[in-house]
Structure 1
Amino acid sequence: MKKLLLLFLFGLSSVFAQTDKFQKIDSLLNFLYTNNKFMGSLSILEKDKIVFSKAYGLAELSSGKKLNPATKLKIGSITKTFTATMIMQLVDEKKLSLDTKLSQFYPKVANADKITIAMLLHHRTGIPDFLNDDPTVAQYIYIENKKADLLKRIEGYTSAFEPDSQFKYSNSNYNLLGYILEDITKKSYAENLHTRIVKKLGLKNTLLPLKIEPTQNEGYSFTFNGNTWEQTPEWHNSLAFAAGAIASTSDDLNLFLSGLFNGKLVSPAALEQMKTMRDNYGKGLIIAPFDKRKFYGHTGGIENFRAAAGYNMEEKTGFAIVVNGDNFNRNEIMIGVLSLFYGNDYQFPDVKGFTVSETLRTKYVGTYSSKSLPIKITIAENNGALTAQATGQSSFPLTAKSETEFVFDTAGIQMIFGDQKMVLKQGGMEFEFTKE
């Protein structure tokens, strides 16, 4: 009887420990949500089963509709993992080869006779990115981008480098892969997504939407203006297409990666190809390390949606987050979640910031220019807090860390103010601005 009692107590302690870590994760996300740092959903997979699934915040502003775990949100470039999976299915079906040249489909693209399907998957083509390298892209974000029109723009680009000589991330590569998928199958990308992945895995909330439909439990993204959340204008989904237009849930992302890594979508040989890294990028996959663990997955961002999903093969554990209220660094959120899940030491972040006097805030307000960058940054005051706005971009709130240091954690931006000057730090780079 004593032995049975001990086993029973051991079982209870294990359950309580599991509950405790999930309660801590829930507390962290509630803490960020109530401090206007985060809205979105998180899902955790253990031994290929969903063990945590919660949503926080709004799906639509006008109606005040709340998010729930089944609310479909855009996942941005995690779409590329879906696209790569379907391309590898065509390879398995011998309808396509990794050595097939782009010229077989789109010979007018620069260096098409040298670019292979494998190079497109690995971002090693030299094809400029229609989103980040094309200065005219602003005029196309909110209108329909028909295949013929976007192809014509891509065909007009000059190659950035010799194919396969280096890595450079380009959304153009994956839109071309999406077009090739359609050409070979004679079906739309959306149809292929449904039959090749969604139906096979029994996913409930993954699709390529034409536009956000709140009545279909689909949510918008939001920007925090320093005082309140504002609904972010929606892009036309035809622009992001096979590079970033899928909408899904954190649960479905976990189930997708679980299905992919457990042989439900591609052959073992194809999966090994996808996992093979070149310049830290596989075929639609990246590796995210945590401690000694290795998670295969991808990240994404579109409008003000941010997403990340990763799967650990050894533990059969997965984490997926889809953010639709982006006001805190997505990676920092995931570090907090993973730390609490694995029992590491972790302190909740300081989100309140440092109180700066009105005199100093007023002193920093103004427009700043730099000899090193072709942009100006306008610092303004809004309800006792500072905001920053770069030329041609939306404004964003600044959190004070001291009387002179302000940050925007979402983008890893640090601003240090001095006498009529401001130093901008981001991504290991540093630029000096002078107040006009």
Structure 2
Amino acid sequence: MPAVRRVLLAAACAVALSGLSLAPAFAAATAVPATQAAEDAELRALAERLLAENAPADAPGIAVLVARGDRVLFRGARGLADVELGVPLTPEQTFRIGSVTKQFSAAALLKLVEAGKVGLDDPLSKYVKGYPNGDAIKVRHLLDHTSGVKSYTGIDGYMRESIKRELSTQELIAVFKDLPADFAPGQDFRYNNSGYVLLGAVIEAASGQPWHEYLRQSLLQPLKLEHTRYGDVHALIPGMVEGYTRRDGAVAPMNFLDMSQPHAAGALVSTLDDLLRWNRALHGGQVLSAADYRDMVTAHGKAKQGAYGYGYGIGRMAVRGRNGYAHSGGIFGFASYLLYLPEREISVAVLSNSDSGAPGSAGLEPIVRKLAAAALGDAYPQIAPVAVDAQTLRQAEGVYRQAEPARSWALRVDGGGLSMQRVGGGAPAKLVAVGAGEFVYPNGIARLKLVRDAAGTVTAVDYFEDGAGEAQRSQRTQDPLPPR
């Protein structure tokens, strides 16, 4: 990192540490009932424990904010903003937010719909001339990943070198426009980044401005999101932390990408407090009309995925049976998660300046879920492992297939327990037995239950992402277990 960049980062961090906050102030503390005060104290203790468990003090770290309405219950950070300089991470600093960008882009597009400049059923060809099958791809297909367009970030080898190039919107579209489609528009759901690049192109065509400039003028500036902006690699961004990855188990500088390429799919940077302000505005009716907001947070057609559903730039996420809206983000050097629960108006924002996480960490989602549950006053139960004999475990070994979305899983005995692994890729998840035929995933939340017939044979498994509630069932097949 150039010396000037190091000095600027150190100075920005020093400002934050001196108490001259870079973030806007939220509601001042007010008296709360004793029971509420005890609940909030438990939440703060949980947040500190989760930070200690997931963010080493001498490595890239994690920043966390939990709020109920405008009242911040916890704002804290652990780890280093700059590992080389030993600069501490603070909650006021700026991070890349990756795909959390998508909800900003979706809301900006819906502002154009409200202004009569775009129609959700307009064909893509109206805005991006000559795009293959552009007459069949509708704007709404781009918003909820049902377009079938091939994701350029999934092109073999693309993320190693090609991602480093600075590209215009049209040059980026040219990267993927002639690739074969994954499916016909509207006929399936597959999360992809190309659709949001095309959405950015629609914004540019309809507004006459670069996509990020339209976002700045239509959303960021009116909502006073002063630290949310396009993460241009050529700009000096106040408070911006360094990003990291892990190579061979050791902390290393993040891989480089030009931020022109994440585009409207993932090129914004932000802070914890700006994300809280955004949650309050978006879900509080300050951004869109009631009808358009409802459209944004509702899964349509093939974007309905069992217990999960994807609206426009945001997904559904249940916490302890309460409906919520969330999105994660992953980009070179950074990870992010933003959740909103309408019940008690709870916001949880988690930002990390590492794309790999610390050894032993289960990722950001369990942190978000556990903090949200605690803010609800309904924490997840503690895990109490039980012993299960090997013969019982072997009865469950096999390949299980889920119908929608279609995928298969291998369940096998692994070191005295069971592990579940997606067939075709992914690391095995070692499960902890907590009851007769019931197991908990490494995140301490998701559960797997064995389904037996009258004869006691295991015929299926039920997966509960939130530990309870609606299950995703996978039926046992006759397929042989794949090689490890």
User: TM-score if structure 1 supplies the norm length?
Assistant: 0.75
Secondary structure of the structure 1 residue equivalent to 2:172:
helix
Equivalent residue number for residue 291 of structure 1: 320
1:270 alignment partner AA:
D
Q: How does 1:18-417 map to 2 (within 5 A)?
A: 18-34=40-56, 39-133=61-155, 135-211=157-233, 216-225=238-247, 228-278=250-300, 279=304, 280-325=309-354, 326-327=357-358, 328=361, 329-341=363-375, 342-347=377-382, 413-414=427-428
Distance in 2 between residues matched to 1:324 and 1:286, nearest whole Å:
23
Change in CA separation of 1:319 and 1:95 when aligned onto 2, cut-off 3 Å: same
Pick closer, same or farther for the CA change 1:110–1:297 going to 2, 3 Å.
same
Bigger mean CA offset, 82-91 vs 193-202: 193-202
Counterpart code for 2:148: G
Give 1:31 shift.
3.0
1:244-301 deviation digits (Å, cap 9, x = unpaired) = 1111122222221220111111111110110220322111110111111111121111
Q: Distance in 1 between matches of 2:266 and 2:47?
A: 28
Q: State whether residues 41 and 249 of structure 1, in contact with CA within 8 Å, keep that contact through their aligned partners in structure 2.
A: no
The 1:230/1:91 distance shift into structure 2, 3 A limit, reads: same
5+ long unaligned stretches in structure 1 = 1-8, 351-400, 417-426
Shift of the alpha carbon at 1:136?
A: 4.0
Deviates more, 1:340-349 or 1:189-198: 340-349
Give the secondary-structure state (helix, strand or coil) at the position aligned to 1:34.
coil
SS of residue matched to 2:323: strand
Structure showing the higher helix proportion among its residues: 1
- 1:25 partner letter: A
Aligned residues: 363
Q: Tell me the distance in 1 between the aligned counterparts of 2:298 and 2:429.
A: 39
Question: What is the one-letter code of the residue matched to 1:309?
Answer: L
Closer/same/farther in 2, CA of residues 154 and 16 from structure 1, 3 Å limit: same
**How many Å separate the matches in 1 of 2:420 and 2:76?**
28
Deviation, 1:75, is 1.0
Task: Please say which of residues 206-215 and 166-175 is displaced more in the overlay.
Answer: 206-215
Shift of 1:139: 2.7
**Distance (Å, rounded) in 1 between the aligned partners of 2:350 and 2:43:** 17
The residue identity in structure 2 corresponding to 1:255 is R
Deviation at 1:413, TM superposition (A): 2.0
Query: One-letter code of the match for 2:327?
Result: H
**Structure 2: any 5+ residue segments left out of the alignment?**
1-30, 386-413, 431-462, 464-473
Q: Distance in 1 between matches of 2:34 and 2:417?
A: 51
**Residues 371-406 of structure 1: CA deviation (Å, up to 9, x unaligned):** xxxxxxxxxxxxxxxxxxxxxxxxxxxxxx969999
Is the contact between residue 79 and residue 246 of structure 1 (CA under 8 Å) also seen in structure 2? yes
Aligned residue identity for 2:90: N
Cα distance between partner residues in 2 of 1:348 and 1:86: 43
Give the superposition deviation at 1:61.
Answer: 2.6
Question: Which residue, out of 417, 432, 436, partners 2:483?
Answer: 432
The percent of aligned pairs where both chains have the same amino acid is 24
Deviation at 1:30, TM superposition (A): 2.1
